[in-house]
Amino acid sequence: MTSTTRPAASAPAAMRESVRVSLGARSYDILIGPGLLAEAGAEIARRLPGIRALVVADERVAALHADRLSASLDAAGIAHSRLVLPAGEPTKSFAHLGEVVDRVLAERLERGDAVIALGGGVIGDLAGFAAGIVRRGMRFVQVPTSLLAQVDSSVGGKTGINSPRGKNLVGVFHQPALVLADTAILDTLSAREFAAGYAEVVKYGLIDRPDFFRWLGENREAIFAGGPERVEAIATSCRAKAEVVAGDEREDGNRALLNLGHTFGHALESCARYDAARLVHGEAVAIGMALAHRFSVAEGLCPAEDAAAVSAHLAAAGLPTTISAIPGPAFTVDELMDKIAQDKKVVRSALTFILTRGIGRAFVARDVDPASVRRFLAAEVGC
């Protein structure tokens, strides 16, 4: 279960939200709203008194935000150092994992100290994985700086790195002690980066919240512009994920629904060799969700008008919805099927997809016929 509370009086109530992820001894808060970066030190010190920390960030985020975080940590008396890594999906690698682990050990941080991830999903996944394995598990704080990270990757404790054989194939479940989602930081994102994160917001409506999907249709422009609608969209997304995680922490059941669009999407990212100039994660998820709905139509599960509405909404937000929209060399069906076969949801070689019976009616489809997927992709690749 989760709970939602209003913020302290230091900020307008309409502009701050707090979502509790209830996991017994591993429970934590997600704080959402503008100005939280400046309050990070105080919030962390309140929950983790006496810690030392390593802040991990990429080059782009460090240049924009690391000094403000350091000032906040200093003001709260939190001794810390900083590790800056290259930006981009290739940083989620064994080599950079080793770099984070070595720095934690070199700083003589103890199990009760913390790794603080300042960045998007790449840094959050990498730093969280390092925190989960060093000294058999250290504390971990997420300070997500992208919309995608604020509504998805920073919540739920899934951490990891990529393998040449596929995305997110190596990792652990390691819950953060706190998530601080400063919505004002999102104003520094490019239009492409914000739209990519918005794909994950839409996902929650498509899984089991059709009213939220309709609300997004009415408020999309206001969300992109900022203000209370943005905070509400992020809080609703975090609340939706927190409820699923609280009921299925280790993805043994319904948590798999959070992977709507990701089986196709991860295959596309892998085939694109994680080249951000061609495709970023949120764009891959957008295409993947559109594909999942169209595949559901092809399988006689979903009304065609619902699939069309999903594609239209994503396209209006500036997101791609077809494989052919990805620039660069075309993918082959064999390449895509090979990557799909490596998906984490595959069980004893049986394909598992998140399919749908309509908007807000997603379900886990196990033992999906590979021949049907191949025929569908052959038609899509040719579009």
d(CA 103, CA 84): 11
More confident residue, 40 or 165: 40
* Residue 359 pLDDT > 60: yes
pLDDT of residue 367: 87
Q: Which domains does the chain have, with CATH numbers?
A: 2-188 (3.40.50.1970), 191-381 (1.20.1090.10)
* Contacts of range 71-77, beta carbons closer than 8 Å, 24 or more positions apart: 71/38, 72/37, 72/38, 72/39, 72/40, 72/41, 72/42, 73/40, 73/41, 73/44, 74/41, 75/41, 75/42, 76/41, 76/42, 76/44, 76/45, 77/41, 77/45
Residue 145 annotated as binding site = yes
* Mean per-residue pLDDT, 263-290: 95
Catalytic entry in 92, 103, 203, 266: 266
Place 343 in a pLDDT band, splitting at 50, 70 and 90.
confident
Reading the block at residue 320, the tokens are 């791609």
pLDDT of residue 7: 35
Residues in a beta bridge with 362: 356
Q: Is 219 a catalytic residue?
A: no
* Mean per-residue pLDDT, 46-67: 98
Residue 203 annotated as binding site = no
* Residue 4 pLDDT > 80: no
Residue 121 annotated as binding site = yes
175: buried, middle or exposed (CB in 10 Å: 19+, 13-18, 0-12)? buried
Catalytic entry in 43, 249, 251, 283: 251
* 281-298 and 370-381 helices, crossing angle to 10°: 110
pLDDT of residue 30: 97
DSSP one-letter string for 7-52: PPTTS-GGG-EEEEE--GGG-EEEEEETTTGGGHHHHHHHHSTT--
Q: Is 266 a catalytic residue?
A: yes
pLDDT of residue 345: 61
Q: Is 313 a catalytic residue?
A: no
pLDDT of residue 346: 62
Place 75 in a pLDDT band, splitting at 50, 70 and 90.
very high
Residue 352 annotated as binding site = no
Length of the chain: 383
Reading the block at residue 140, the tokens are 């971990």
pLDDT of residue 255: 87
Residue 167 annotated as binding site = yes
**Residue 57 contacts residue 118 (beta carbons within 8 Å):** yes
Catalytic entry in 82, 241, 294, 344: 241
* Residue 263 pLDDT > 60: yes
Q: Is 293 a catalytic residue?
A: no
Residues in a beta bridge with 159: 172
* Residue 2 pLDDT > 70: no
* % of the chain residues with pLDDT over 90: 87
pLDDT of residue 167: 85
Catalytic entry in 158, 174, 220, 239: 158
Place 348 in a pLDDT band, splitting at 50, 70 and 90.
low
Q: Is 200 a catalytic residue?
A: yes
Nearest to 237 by CA among 142, 151, 361, 156: 151
d(CA 47, CA 94): 31
Give the contacts of 217 (CB within 8 A, at least 6 positions apart): 313
d(CA 305, CA 310): 9
For the stretch 220-262, pLDDT in tens is 999 999 989 999 999 999 999 999 998 888 887 888 899 999 9
Residue 344 annotated as binding site = no
For the stretch 292-302, pLDDT in tens is 999 999 999 99
**Residue 28 contacts residue 175 (beta carbons within 8 Å):** yes
Reading the block at residue 191, the tokens are 């239009």
What is the 3-class SS of 49-86, one letter each residue?
CCCCEEEEEEHHHHHHHHHHHHHHHHHCCCCEEEEEEC
pLDDT of residue 8: 36
* Residue 199 pLDDT > 80: yes
Q: Is 262 a catalytic residue?
A: yes
CA atoms within 13 A on the CB side of 165: 6
Q: Is 108 a catalytic residue?
A: no
* Residue 99 pLDDT > 90: yes
Q: For the chain, first and last CA: distance in Å?
A: 43
Residue 39 annotated as binding site = no
Place 165 in a pLDDT band, splitting at 50, 70 and 90.
confident
Q: Is 174 a catalytic residue?
A: no
* Residue 344 pLDDT > 70: no
Place 1 in a pLDDT band, splitting at 50, 70 and 90.
very low
